């Protein structure tokens, strides 16, 4: 048998920001691919509903844990509960994120702190907790949801873009440090997908047309199109891939002129 497994049977994935948008799609898609799932966000109603959907539609185990991922203490409690309930975490998906679209000259300290803590600090300390756990087993996968905004300059915020660029580099350094523990660390960098984070932008016909004009595939992404790359990176099919960022962008990042 030469073809690797793309499924995730027997694994457990913890997804942050799993109550809506990309995180919800990832949680459902990972479960459909065979994984049990731990769903983490601040909105218990959303993650409980998603967990119920997963159990009903896939038969996988789904655990909803309410936490603010900007709190290292709450992250530690969440990992402890998840490991206690599920036995082991094979995959961590750092998806939770947010943006406050402010011109650089007007960014406030509070805005800086909020975006940095939500998008970057949370991913680092969740990765640290996952790394400490995964190291014991000599195997683990961490997938950071960055953005094309971490690869090239976007008009949607210098702080947001900086956190996403930092996530891409953090992916490389953790992959370097943790390869000896059998832990693979990769990143997925989406272009636009319709979610609560972007719907206001995408509802503006002129803005949407500008996005499409910069996108060789001529459209924004469908949520299942970001699920596939994440499932791939979590599977043994990506067994020799670490430190990489997969841009899921309809070709936007290669559009010169």
Ligand X SMILES: C[C@H](O)[C@@H]1OC(=O)[C@H](O)[C@@H]1O
Ligand Y SMILES: NC(=O)C1=CN([C@@H]2O[C@H](COP(=O)(O)OP(=O)(O)OC[C@H]3O[C@@H](n4cnc5c(N)ncnc54)[C@H](O)[C@@H]3O)[C@@H](O)[C@H]2O)C=CC1
Catalytic residue list: 160
> Binding to ligand X by residue 162, rule CB under 6 A?
no
Task: Give the full edge-to-edge strand order of the sheet including 12-16.
Answer: 62-66, 36-41, 12-16, 91-94, 140-145, 183-190, 245-248
| Burial of 116 (C-beta count, 10 Å sphere; 0-12/13-18/19+) | middle
Are 18 and 27 in contact by the 8 Å Cβ rule? The answer is: yes
Which range binds ligand X by CB under 6 A, 64-72, 191-199, 212-220, 225-233? Answer: 191-199
CB of 179 to ligand X, least distance (A): 28
Are 26 and 15 in contact by the 8 Å Cβ rule? The answer is: yes
Q: Beta strands 140-145 and 91-94: pairing type?
A: parallel
> Binding to ligand X by residue 70, rule CB under 6 A?
no
Tell me which residue has its CB nearest to ligand X. Answer: 156
> Binding to ligand Y by residue 43, rule CB under 6 A?
yes
Write the interaction track for ligand Y spanning residues 145-184; mark x where CB under 6 A is met and - where it is not: x-x-------------------------------------
Which range binds ligand X by CB under 6 A, 48-56, 111-119, 189-197, 220-228? Answer: 189-197
Q: What, of ligand Y, ligand X, none, does residue 245 touch, CB below 5 to 8 Å by kind?
A: none
Number of residues that bind ligand Y (CB under 6 A): 27
Residue from 19, 29, 161, 229 in contact with ligand Y (CB under 6 A): 19
Q: What, of ligand Y, ligand X, none, does residue 95 touch, CB below 5 to 8 Å by kind?
A: ligand Y
Residue from 97, 140, 161, 243 in contact with ligand Y (CB under 6 A): 97
- Eight-state DSSP code of residue 119: I
Residues 33, 56: Cα–Cα separation, whole Å? 15
- Eight-state DSSP code of residue 67: -
Cβ-based neighbours of 134, under 8 Å, separated by 6 or more: 89, 90, 140, 178, 181, 182, 183
Q: What, of ligand Y, ligand X, none, does residue 156 touch, CB below 5 to 8 Å by kind?
A: ligand X
CB of 170 to ligand Y, least distance (A): 13
| Burial of 120 (C-beta count, 10 Å sphere; 0-12/13-18/19+) | buried
Residues 227, 222: Cα–Cα separation, whole Å? 9
> Binding to ligand X by residue 128, rule CB under 6 A?
no
Binding site residues, ligand X, CB under 6 A: 99, 101, 147-149, 154, 156, 160, 191-192, 197-198
Binding site residues, ligand Y, CB under 6 A: 16-17, 19-23, 41-43, 68-70, 95-98, 118, 145, 147, 190, 192-193, 195-198
């Amino acid at each position: 048998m030469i073809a690797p497994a793309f499924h995730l049977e027997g694994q457990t994935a913890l997804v942050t920001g799993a109550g809506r948008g990309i995180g919800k799609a990832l949680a459902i898609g990972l479960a459909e691919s065979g994984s049990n799932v731990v769903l983490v966000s601040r909105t218990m109603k959303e993650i409980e509903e998603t967990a119920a959907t997963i159990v009903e539609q896939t038969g996988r185990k789904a655990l909803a844990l309410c936490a603010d991922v900007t709190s290292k203490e709450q992250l530690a409690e969440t990992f402890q509960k998840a490991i206690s309930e599920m036995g082991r975490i094979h995959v961590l998906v750092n998806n939770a994120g947010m943006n406050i679209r402010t011109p650089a000259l007007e960014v406030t300290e509070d805005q800086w702190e909020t975006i940095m803590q939500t998008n970057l600090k949370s991913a680092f300390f969740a990765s640290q907790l996952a790394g400490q756990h995964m190291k014991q087993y000599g195997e683990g996968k961490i997938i950071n949801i960055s953005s094309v905004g971490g690869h090239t300059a976007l008009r949607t915020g210098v702080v947001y873009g900086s956190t996403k660029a930092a996530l891409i580099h953090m992916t490389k350094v953790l992959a370097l440090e943790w390869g000896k523990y059998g832990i693979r660390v990769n990143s997925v960098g989406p272009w636009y997908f319709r979610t609560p984070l972007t719907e206001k932008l995408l509802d503006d016909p002129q803005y949407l047309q500008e996005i499409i004009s910069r996108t060789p595939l001529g459209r924004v992404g469908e949520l299942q199109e970001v699920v596939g790359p994440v499932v791939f990176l979590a599977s043994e099919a990506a067994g020799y891939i670490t430190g990489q960022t997969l841009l899921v962008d309809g070709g936007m990042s290669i559009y010169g002129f």
